């Protein structure tokens, strides 16, 4: 009997094994595929398809290469994307705003001249030479009137991103030398930042280029056809009206008046040249 029992037991074992081979099908509970694993059944671990692979966001200067899906990271920060420095701004990272170095140095920064921010109606001394004798100095009283800044007006066409400036200068001469030898007015225009107004000549209106915030802008300058009053009570007054169109906020127009004996020279190559500089 003992033998029979043993055999029966083996039968039962075999039966059990083969019964479990016919188990009911798994009701799969699928987990979605991830970057690193395919679609997988949480019960039986059966898989279908492939892993998705990472969805990489390229590294920037502020974050390393990162997977948009699972936030896995790799590698190191990218270098800054630095813009070139210009007269208004140092080199700056276009992504994070990090700055390096300094703004470009304005042409006038190391020139030995004092720049005046013209006060309307205030008198300034302008020393120049006589008309019939250039070595006979005369000192005119110079003042500015009616500085206006506007987008457009009749005769001053509007241009997007630009503004007009108009201003009038008057210079009155009444000392003995002016009455005896006359006087010569030598005005000039410059760009405080670049020291360059090439393109401007005596004719009006003229175009010239201004670099503002790193971008070249085509600008207009209408320099004066100055007029002289008649001599009256020993006094003669010059009137000149300027108009210029520059990018909004540009503050680099320099109008200066130089002693007539030096006009045409590079005044920055010379020392102590009588001149008066106004920056608008
Ligand atoms: Zn399953
Ligand atoms: Zn991922
Ligand atoms: Zn950066």
Q: Are residues 131 and 46 in the same domain?
A: no
Q: Which ligand gives the minimal distance to the CA of 65?
A: 2
Each residue's pLDDT tens digit, 76-135: 999 999 999 999 999 999 999 999 999 999 999 989 889 999 999 999 999 999 999 999
Residues of the chain with pLDDT under 70: 1-23, 199, 201-205
- Domain presence at residue 12: no
CA 223 to centroid of ligand 2, rounded, Å: 65
Would you state the pLDDT for residue 117? 95
CA 56 to centroid of ligand 2, rounded, Å: 7
- Domain presence at residue 261: yes
Query: How many domains would you assign to the chain?
Result: 3
By residue count, the chain amounts to: 280
Q: Which ligand gives the minimal distance to the CA of 94?
A: 3
If one counts every other C-beta atom within 10 angstroms of the C-beta of residue 226, the result is 14
Q: Which ligand gives the minimal distance to the CA of 62?
A: 3
Q: Are residues 144 and 213 in the same domain?
A: yes
For the chain, give the mean pLDDT: 90
CA 159 to centroid of ligand 2, rounded, Å: 50
CA 155 to centroid of ligand 3, rounded, Å: 45
Q: Are residues 152 and 87 in the same domain?
A: no
Q: Are residues 218 and 252 in the same domain?
A: yes
- Domain presence at residue 27: no
CA distance 176 to 33: 98
CA 243 to centroid of ligand 1, rounded, Å: 83
CA 50 to centroid of ligand 2, rounded, Å: 14
CA 209 to centroid of ligand 2, rounded, Å: 51
Query: Distances in Å between the alpha carbon of 258 and those of 173, 215, 273, 277?
Result: 15, 31, 8, 9
pTM reported for the whole predicted model: 0.76
Helix, coil or strand: residue 171: strand
CA distance 174 to 235: 4
Host domain of residue 74: 37-79
- Which of 180, 165, 172 lies closest to 133, judged by CA? 180
Would you state the pLDDT for residue 13? 46
CA 15 to centroid of ligand 1, rounded, Å: 24
Tokens 């002016």 identify what position? 178
CA 28 to centroid of ligand 2, rounded, Å: 24
CA distance 140 to 122: 13
């Amino acid at each position: 009997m003992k033998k029979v029992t043993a055999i029966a037991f083996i039968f039962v074992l075999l039966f059990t094994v083969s019964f479990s081979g016919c188990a009911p099908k798994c009701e799969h509970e699928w987990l979605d595929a991830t970057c690193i694993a395919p679609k997988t059944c949480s019960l039986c671990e059966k898989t279908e398809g492939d892993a998705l692979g990472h969805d990489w966001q390229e590294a920037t200067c502020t974050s390393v290469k990162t997977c948009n899906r699972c936030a896995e990271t790799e590698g190191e920060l990218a270098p800054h994307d630095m813009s070139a420095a210009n007269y208004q701004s140092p080199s700056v990272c276009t992504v994070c705003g990090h700055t390096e170095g300094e703004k470009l140095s304005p042409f006038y920064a190391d020139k030995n001249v004092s720049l005046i921010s013209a006060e309307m109606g205030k008198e300034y001394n302008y020393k120049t030479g006589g008309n019939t004798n250039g070595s006979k100095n005369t000192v005119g009283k110079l003042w500015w009137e009616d500085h206006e800044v506007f987008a457009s007006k009749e005769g001053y066409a509007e241009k997007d991103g630009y503004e007009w400036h108009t201003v009038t200068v008057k210079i009155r001469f009444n000392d003995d030398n002016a009455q005896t030898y006359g006087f010569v007015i030598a005005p000039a225009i410059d760009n405080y930042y670049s020291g360059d107004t090439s393109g401007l000549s005596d004719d009006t209106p003229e175009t010239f280029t201004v670099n503002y915030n790193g971008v070249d802008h085509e600008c207009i300058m209408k320099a004066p056809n100055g007029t002289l009053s008649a001599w009256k009570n020993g006094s003669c007054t010059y009137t000149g009206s300027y108009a210029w169109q520059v990018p909004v906020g540009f503050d680099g127009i320099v109008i200066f008046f130089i002693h007539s004996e030096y006009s045409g020279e590079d005044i920055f190559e010379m020392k102590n040249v009588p001149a008066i500089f106004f920056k608008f």
